[in-house]
Structure 1
Amino acid sequence: MSANVRSDHSPTLDTIRMVEDFIKEHSGEYRRRALWECLPRKVMYQTFKKIIEYLLESSKIAIDARGRVCWIYDPEFTRWYLAREDLRIR
């Protein structure tokens, strides 16, 4: 690897889905570090941090006051909410 090539720990879609599924199944049980240590497959911590950052930015997860990672994404509720009459542009 040359000196100009940078490893930026870009996660694969498969890895993102694995982390999402694990968080859904164990929502609110783990803090970030413990969650990373308990994943079914090993992931570099820098890559894991990028996935957590993405999930936070996309409002799929939240970190509670105790630092636990919680799954909050609910696509059915979102569809229902956005379809409400009072939200439609007039």
Structure 2
Amino acid sequence: MTELLITKVRYPNLQTVFMVERFIEENNGEFKKTELFEKLPKKMMWQTFQIIMNYLQSINKILIEKNGKVVYIWNPEFAAKFQNRPDLEI
């Protein structure tokens, strides 16, 4: 008889996502992914951290450099310039 191993996925709450995003922004380009995970102000499971990192990458707020450092790339001032342009409406 084969047993199924069920892994429970833990999705982060919004407060946790903001905490990770703020920490990355404040420590821009200083840490690699694992170092960043270890230095977060609040501990979490690695899987939860991975979900947050994938989310932040997918919405173009962070990127990971060739050397592995996590960089915050979101620029709200730049985005605001384009947000209200009528020629760019969807």
Smaller-chain TM-score range? Answer: 0.7 to 0.9
**Within-5 A mapping of 1:41-80:** 41-80=42-81
Distance change >3 Å, CA 73–CA 10, structure 1 → 2: same
**Within-5 A mapping of 1:1-90:** 7-83=8-84, 88=88
- For residue 59 of structure 1, give the secondary structure of its aligned residue in structure 2: coil
Deviation at 1:75, TM superposition (A): 1.5
RMSD after superposition: 2.0
Q: How many residues align?
A: 86
| TM-score, scaled relative to structure 2 | 0.83
| TM-score, scaled relative to structure 1 | 0.83
- For residue 34 of structure 1, give the secondary structure of its aligned residue in structure 2: helix
Question: Which of structure 1's runs of 4+ aligned residues deviate more than 3 A?
Answer: 81-85
Distance change >3 Å, CA 88–CA 56, structure 1 → 2: closer
Q: Which runs of 5+ in 1 are unaligned?
A: none
